[in-house]
């Protein structure tokens, strides 16, 4: 409960800063982007001699940026990435065997400090939170035979840091390039077949790095 209250407080602070009027302004910039996610996962052992890993995958998403005084901005982004699961072990060392895939869909909220706001190239740095979701999972027969019945999303938000730049293309169009990183691990929950106690669940930690390139429309 305390974690939920803290998340709601951070969301309210990021999206509607206290310095604003009661009416929330429209976003100053909408961005549609393509992305690539490198999970930087630490494999979890799911059976003797058999590990499960999360591999890089492509994605796409949309972001809204709210510009504020003093070269500050709040970015709210939602994207979906399809990440392959890979089984590795003595019998399939090297290429590994497919464990299926997950559709990783984080909601990211980033408070940014922007530099050179009046120039054609505008870099930024920022920090905020990421709230992870799984839109879907598709587990392979090999993973189910290894004893895993389901994969659940992380149950908590995490710290997010980012940097990037906007490159002006026209009066209302911008090329946006972003790099976002989760420095403290998120955790996928691996649910074994026939689970009776929560202590039987397995954890797969990963620190996703997301590179996004998109075109933005600025009011």
- The predicted pLDDT at position 20 comes to 43
- How would you class 123 by CB atoms within 10 Å of its CB: exposed for 0-12, middle for 13-18, buried for 19 or more? middle
Q: Is residue 2 part of a domain?
A: no
- The predicted pLDDT at position 23 comes to 52
When divided into structural domains, the chain yields a total of 1
- The predicted pLDDT at position 126 comes to 97
* CA separation for the pair 50, 195 (Å, rounded): 19
Q: Is the pLDDT of residue 158 over 90?
A: yes
What average pLDDT score do residues 171-184 get?
94
Confidence of residue 130 (pLDDT cuts 50, 70, 90): very high
Distance of CA 26 to the CA centre of its chain: 24
Q: Is residue 18 part of a domain?
A: no
- The predicted pLDDT at position 175 comes to 96
Q: What is the CATH number of the domain that holds 105?
A: 2.40.160.20
Mean confidence (pLDDT) of the chain:
84
Strand pairing partners for 138? 101
Q: Is the pLDDT of residue 22 over 70?
A: no
* CA separation for the pair 105, 195 (Å, rounded): 26
- The predicted pLDDT at position 33 comes to 97
Q: Is residue 193 part of a domain?
A: yes
- pTM of the full structure: 0.80
Q: Is the pLDDT of residue 8 over 90?
A: no
Q: Is residue 131 part of a domain?
A: yes
Higher pLDDT, 97 or 64: 64
Query: Residue 216 is encoded by which pair of tokens?
Result: 């933005």
What is the chain's percent helix, strand, coil content, to nearest 5?
10, 60, 30
Cβ–Cβ < 8 Å for 56, 206? no
C-alpha dihedral sign at 198, 85, 106, 211: positive
Distance of CA 75 to the CA centre of its chain: 13
For the stretch 80-93, pLDDT in tens is: 999 999 998 754 44
Look up tokens 């790095």; give the residue.
209
Q: Is residue 20 part of a domain?
A: no
Query: Residue 192 is encoded by which pair of tokens?
Result: 């074994």
* CA separation for the pair 79, 126 (Å, rounded): 18
Confidence of residue 99 (pLDDT cuts 50, 70, 90): very high
Query: Residue 143 is encoded by which pair of tokens?
Result: 């993973």
Confidence of residue 185 (pLDDT cuts 50, 70, 90): confident
Q: Is the pLDDT of residue 127 over 70?
A: yes
Q: Is residue 21 part of a domain?
A: no
Q: CB neighbours (10 Å) of residue 179?
A: 13
Q: Is residue 150 part of a domain?
A: yes
Q: Is residue 145 part of a domain?
A: yes
Higher pLDDT, 102 or 18: 102
Q: Which domain holds residue 86?
A: 27-218
């Amino acid at each position: 409960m305390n974690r939920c209250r803290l998340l709601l407080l951070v969301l309210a602070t990021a999206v509607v800063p206290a310095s604003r009027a009661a009416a929330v302004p429209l976003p100053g910039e909408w961005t549609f982007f393509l992305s690539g996610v490198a999970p930087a996962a630490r494999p979890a052992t799911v059976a003797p001699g058999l590990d499960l890993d999360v591999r890089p995958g492509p994605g796409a998403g949309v972001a809204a940026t709210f510009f504020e005084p003093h070269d500050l901005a709040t970015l709210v982004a939602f994207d979906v990435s399809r990440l392959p699961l890979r089984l590795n072990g003595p019998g399939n060392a090297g290429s590994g065997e497919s464990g299926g895939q997950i559709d990783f869909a984080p909601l990211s909220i980033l408070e940014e400090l922007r530099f050179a706001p009046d120039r054609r190239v505008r870099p930024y740095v920022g920090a905020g939170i990421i709230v992870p979701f799984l839109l879907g999972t598709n587990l392979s027969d090999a993973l189910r035979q290894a004893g895993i019945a389901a994969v659940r999303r992380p149950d908590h938000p995490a710290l997010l840091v980012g940097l990037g730049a906007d490159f002006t293309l026209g009066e209302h169009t911008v090329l946006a390039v972003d790099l976002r990183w989760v420095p403290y691990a998120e955790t996928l929950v691996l649910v074994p077949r026939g689970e009776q106690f929560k202590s039987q669940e397995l954890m797969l930690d990963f620190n996703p790095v997301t590179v996004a390139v998109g075109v933005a429309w600025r009011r």
